[in-house]
Structure formats: C-alpha cells, structure tokens
Amino acid sequence: MSGHSKWATTKHKKAIVDAKRGKMFAKMVKNIEVAARIGGPDPDGNPTLYDAIQKARKSSVPKDHIDRAVKRGGGVGDDAVDYTTIMYEGYAPGGVALLVECLTDNRNRAAMEVRTAMTRNGGTMADPGSVSYMFNRKGVIMVPRDQEGGPTNEDDVLLAVLDAGAEEVNDHDGSFEVISEPTDLVAVRTALQEAGLDYDSADASFVPSMTVDVDVEAATKIMKLIDALEDCDDVQNVFANFDASDEVMAQVE
C-alpha cells in the first residue's frame, strides 16, 4: 500500500506541474501573439516579439506552437486573434499591493476571474490608481549564473551592461537581475549578447518602488493568492510589493 500511495502522490504532483506548464505555455503563446499583432510577425524587426520567442524557447514551448502564435498574431489564417491588456489593482493579506495584468478577448470574464480569485483567497480589489503609483515600469533581464563558457559573476554582468543603459544588477542566488528603463531593454539585451552572455528572459515589467516586509504567515497567504490569480487563464502577470527573507521563503516552500 505504501508503494501505491507513493506512486499516487507522485502522479498527483506531476499532474499539478504539467497543468502549470500547460498554463505557462499558454501565457507565453499569448505574449507572442500580442507582440506579433502590435509590431508585426518578423522578429528581426520586432524586438518585443524576438524576446517573447526567446523566452518561449528557453521554457521548451514547442516550435510549432511558437510558429502558429506568430501567424495568428500577425493576422495570418482564419484563427487570427486580438487581445486587450487590462490592469487590475488590489491588496493581498498584510497590506501588500498587487498589480494583476490580463491579456483577454473577454473583459467581463477576466474581471470575474480576478475578483473571484481575490475574494476567495483573502485579497481585496482596489480602485484604479490606488496601487499602481507604488510600481515603476522597468526593463528586467534575467541572466543565469551558469553560462556555456562557465559560471559568470556580478562584475562580468555589470561590465557588459553598464554603458548600454542598465541601472542596477541584483544577485538572486543563481541568477542576476538586470534593471533598466523599458526604452533601454533592447540595448541592454544586445550588450549581453555581444559580451557572450546568455539570458533567460527580457521583459518590460513592473518593479515596486517601496516594499512591505512579511513574515511566514503573511507570505504563505500571499503566495496562495498569487497562485490562484496566476491560475486564471486571462491573467498574464502578477506583480507584488512584498519582501520576504530567504528564511521566510524557505519555510513557505
């Protein structure tokens, strides 16, 4: 029985991982579609599309999924799509501010999904503008420490991106976060490539200008709420301004 129980548990965990991977793939495909629609289907002339494709490839999204997304977004074929970006604002437990970015073809469905996830998991919706002032739009590039030619360090990354417009480089235990203005994102990403440094993702993101320290109890509730929001099909990204120590996050995990 113990062996059977162990197998059942393993299968259950794998199903959760596969479901999350499926949702992740769907969100990345949607990003590609929107980028192709806004800037055209040629990644060489559309940096946003280029970065969306690179991120999908890094996450093992199948090539045929990527190709179909580019065509759909570019208006090629009968299944061309059109998504609207909507930003919802709210609070998580502990007074933590949330920005919830949606890409949707149905505003009412997106609003209902976000509101339901919020109310069922201890969050509250907020009026437009009441939370967004706590975040700044920034370019964020994630660079892995382990590179093809061997491990890199913070100084190597800083040296590569400083003259390209990077504002700061943060060491995140196994990867480096490079922050820039959104308008400098392509220049910074290009500087990394020219320096022979690989990167995992390059996105225009929302970075909090102020953070709220949280304990294990609050962090657990916040992560539960964020998971619920990210499980919504129309939710593309969730940004929060909480700060938790490594020790707290280790206990949450």
pLDDT at 10: 52
CB 190: neighbour CB atoms within 10 A?
A: 14
Q: How large is the average pLDDT for residues 83-98?
A: 94
The total domain count for the chain is 2
Domain that holds residue 35: 2-73
Tell the burial category of 135 from Cβ atoms under 10 Å away from its Cβ (0-12, 13-18, 19+). Answer: buried
Domain assignment present for 97: yes
**What is the Cα–Cα distance from 222 to 218, expressed in whole angstroms?**
6
CATH number of the domain bearing residue 139 = 3.30.70.980
Of 11, 46, 73, the domain-final residue: 73
CA distances to 72, 84, 112, 114, 125 from 108, in Å: 23, 12, 6, 10, 15
pLDDT at 235: 93
pLDDT at 53: 94
pLDDT at 18: 72
Domain assignment present for 78: no
What pLDDT digit, counting tens, does each position of 161-200 carry?
999 999 999 887 778 999 999 999 999 999 999 999 999 8
CATH number of the domain bearing residue 19 = 1.10.10.200
Of 73, 107, 128, the domain-final residue: 73
What pLDDT digit, counting tens, does each position of 217-242 carry?
998 999 899 999 999 999 999 999 98
Closest by CA position to 101, among listed 30, 36, 181: 30
